[in-house]
């Protein structure tokens, strides 16, 4: 926010100075809704409304005439607001663990947008269909678009065909199975996979890797032919697939310790004056 709209930086700094717990929510007990209000909505609204104190002539020069002249002259520095509404992207909202906190976040967004319909601010959310998210977003102020409606099953079928053909050429176990039993996967199984994948290329790729992966699980399915029926029974979502994939490695002694060591930690609050891309999960 502070990088895209410099006018918001002093407002954000003042909010953090007044309440440092905004940057340490786990310790300070500040709700996600309060953090969004103090660090995003309020600074953006104040910056935009500050324009009303400037004459219409000055505003037109800053937001229309100046950017247009700069664009014609080949300059690239154009104010973010002069290009149109500010867009905030929330990617993979369904990956967040706390359903209550996500619902609170969405409710806060909708309240702000409904109370400030003329503020040039838009929010773009990507997520799988989850009940706690869909129930909040199914309102007139939100436009919902299902990516499944834009993906052809024929494309998924072609994608899987290429993957399996290449995988079969590389796997001697599959070649021996095909020589004895005929085509694998069968056309019937391929159709089932396409229907089960429901238009998601990410899920299709993950399912294929699960089926073709080398076996590491004690007493588990040892061949791709054994794992294909399991893939067809999985819930059509990445969480279940990842859980099943990781479960195959749980018997390895270093596995749990490796997962613990890979968990991100932060011992000190982030510096909001940093102008580069933020890696902090809260900003």
Written in H, E and C, the secondary structure of the chain is: CCCCCHHHHHHHHHHHHHCHHHHCHHHHCCCHHHHHHHHHHHHHHHHHHHHHHCCHHHHHHHHHHHHHHHHHCCCCCCCCHHHCCEEEEECCHHHCCCHHHHHHHHHHHHHHHHHCCCCCEEEEECCCCCHHHHHHHCCCCCCCCCHHHHCCHHHHHHHHHHHHHHHHHHCHHHHHHHHHHCCCCCHHHHHHHHHHHCCCHHHHHHHHHHHHCCCCCCCCCCCHHHHHHHHHHCCCCHHHHHHHHHHCCCCCHHHHHHHHHCCCCCCCCCCCCCCCCCCCCCC
pLDDT of res. 134: 85
pLDDT by residue, tens only, the chain of 283 residues = 677 777 788 888 888 888 888 887 666 678 888 888 888 888 888 876 665 555 544 554 555 445 544 544 443 444 445 556 778 888 988 888 778 878 888 888 888 888 878 777 788 998 887 888 888 888 988 998 887 677 678 999 999 999 999 999 999 999 999 999 999 999 999 999 999 888 888 888 888 988 998 765 545 567 899 999 988 887 655 566 666 666 666 656 665 555 545 555 444 444 433 333 333 332 2
pTM as predicted: 0.43
């Amino acid at each position: 926010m502070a990088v895209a709209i410099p006018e918001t930086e002093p407002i954000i700094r003042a909010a953090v100075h007044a309440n440092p717990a905004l940057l340490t929510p786990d310790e300070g007990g500040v709700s996600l809704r309060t953090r969004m209000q103090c660090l995003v909505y309020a600074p953006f609204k104040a910056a935009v409304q500050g324009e009303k104190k400037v004459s219409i002539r000055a505003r037109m020069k800053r937001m229309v005439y100046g950017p247009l002249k700069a664009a014609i002259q080949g300059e690239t520095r154009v104010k973010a607001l002069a290009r149109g509404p500010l867009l905030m992207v929330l990617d993979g909202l369904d990956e967040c663990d706390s359903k209550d906190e996500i619902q609170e976040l969405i409710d806060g967004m909708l309240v702000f947008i409904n109370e400030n319909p003329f503020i040039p601010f838009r929010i773009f959310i990507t997520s799988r269909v989850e009940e706690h998210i869909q129930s909040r977003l199914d309102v007139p102020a939100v436009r919902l678009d299902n990516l499944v409606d834009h993906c052809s099953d024929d494309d998924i079928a072609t994608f899987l065909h290429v993957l399996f053909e290449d995988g079969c050429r590389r796997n001697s176990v599959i070649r021996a199975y095909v020589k004895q039993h005929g085509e694998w996967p069968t056309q019937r199984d391929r159709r089932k996979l396409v229907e089960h994948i429901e238009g998601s290329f990410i899920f299709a790729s993950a399912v294929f890797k699960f089926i073709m992966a080398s076996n590491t699980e004690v007493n588990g399915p040892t061949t791709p032919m054994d794992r294909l029926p399991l893939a067809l029974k999985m819930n059509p979502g990445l969480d279940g697939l990842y859980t099943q994939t990781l479960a195959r490695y749980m018997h390895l002694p270093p596995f749990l310790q490796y997962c613990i060591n890979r968990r991100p930690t932060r011992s000190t609050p982030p510096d909001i004056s940093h102008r580069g891309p933020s890696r902090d999960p809260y900003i």
